[in-house]
Structure 1
Amino acid sequence: MFVRTRIVPIVGAIVFILMALLGARFASENAQAATELGGTVYWSDGDSGRLSDGTKFRLHGVDAPETGSMKQRGGAKCEAERELGYDAKAAAVELTRGRAVTVSRIMGRDRYGRNVVTLSLEGEDLAKLLVASGTHKAWDYDGGAPKPDWCGGWGSGAAP
């Protein structure tokens, strides 16, 4: 009985320590995988979506027109914006279709819980490529810049 009362807690402690070490290694590998992720991207709209591991993201430093209904919160401000939004999404889909995308940097999370990331495509900044294509606009959200106006000042539903 004496041996059993001494050994069981020791074995339990050893198992706990091994599990903790294994968990720390797993977390470390996942953190590394998040920054070295290579894979396809599912685009929800022109500047956000899900990475191949299911992680939701928001592309840093860029804005795309909204595709949501003008009646929904956070949706397009006018029908012209909505149409531009579908073009922006199509450009992002086409640019990344069948190509490995890498997470270059994770800046943190946005108010919707998505990771704000910089993505690379064959070593080039994906946001810059999208801005150069004309479907997206650079947006210094971190610096307090206002969200780009995609309706040309109309904003209430009338097309510019």
Structure 2
Amino acid sequence: MRRRSLLLLVPVVVAAGLALAGRGPAPSELSPVPPAKAERGGKRIGGNPAGAVRIVDGDTLRIGDARIRLHGIDAPERAQSCSDADGRRYRCGEEASAALARLIGDGRPDCAERDRDSYGRSVAICTVGGRDLNRAMVAGGWALAYIRYSRDYEADEAAARRARRGVWQGSFERPDQYRAARRGSRR
């Protein structure tokens, strides 16, 4: 029980630290996206109020035993670094995770499964308080539209890029390319 409580505190502490350091925007600044519903059908996930919510990274969360990959988005990996507008390196993967934690806040994600991935995870559209978390992550610049699987968030990515929000403030390696390079170096 104590370990579960600590796991829930980690994203809150990271988000608070980023906010104090001036790195992360306030939740209201993460995205200009208006609230929406986790629409488009699918099996509901996360309805068990006893299941703890844990952020795995910027595009994956756990609700109880369910591991959920956010549909149509790709966020920097937790260990991934990027460069800001001044060329300084920062841990964009951790910031993406913190952005998702801020969006969820004290809310309870409501997720509609769209598919299952090759790792057996639910691929879902998730909302909190009616706000589409997938869209908000892309609109805030902390995830990219994963057009290999969906074109749902292309316009949100273009707007984030133009406004230089999140990872678009500087330079970064696309998360899929980062993963591919790491897989290639392990061979």
Calculate the TM-score normalised by the size of structure 2. 0.50
CA–CA distance in structure 1, aligned partners of residues 46 and 65 of structure 2: 14
What displacement does 1:150 show?
3.6
What displacement does 1:124 show?
2.2
CA–CA distance in structure 2, aligned partners of residues 106 and 139 of structure 1: 17
What displacement does 1:33 show?
8.3
Distance 1:36 1:43, change over 3 A: closer
What displacement does 1:116 show?
0.5
Partner of 2:103: 95
Identity of aligned residues (%): 28
Partner of 1:3: none
Code of the residue aligned with 1:60 in structure 2: it is: H
Could you tell me which runs of 5 or more consecutive residues in structure 1 were left unpaired when the two chains were aligned: 1-31, 69-75
Partner of 2:82: 80
Partner of 1:59: 70
Code of the residue aligned with 1:48 in structure 2: it is: T
Larger Rg: 1
CA–CA distance in structure 1, aligned partners of residues 107 and 77 of structure 2: 25
CA–CA distance in structure 1, aligned partners of residues 95 and 136 of structure 2: 15
Partner of 1:111: 118
Secondary structure at 2:95 match in 1: helix
Distance 1:123 1:38, change over 3 A: farther
**Aligned Cα root-mean-square deviation (Å):** 3.3
Distance 1:38 1:119, change over 3 A: farther
Code of the residue aligned with 1:37 in structure 2: it is: G
What displacement does 1:143 show?
5.0
Distance 1:109 1:33, change over 3 A: closer
Choose the corresponding residue for 2:173, options 129, 142, 151: 151
2:113 and 2:125 in contact (8 A); partners too: yes
Partner of 1:9: none
What displacement does 1:64 show?
0.3
Q: Does 2:57 align with 1:45?
A: yes
Aligned pairs, how many? 111
Secondary structure at 1:44 match in 2: strand
Calculate the TM-score normalised by the size of structure 1. 0.57
* Residue-by-residue CA offset, 1:77-129 (whole Å, 9 max, x unaligned): xx4288111110000011112112111x2122111111101101112211111
Distance 1:150 1:110, change over 3 A: farther
CA–CA distance in structure 2, aligned partners of residues 36 and 93 of structure 1: 16
1:58 and 1:114 in contact (8 A); partners too: yes
Code of the residue aligned with 1:116 in structure 2: it is: V
Partner of 1:16: none
CA–CA distance in structure 1, aligned partners of residues 118 and 131 of structure 2: 27
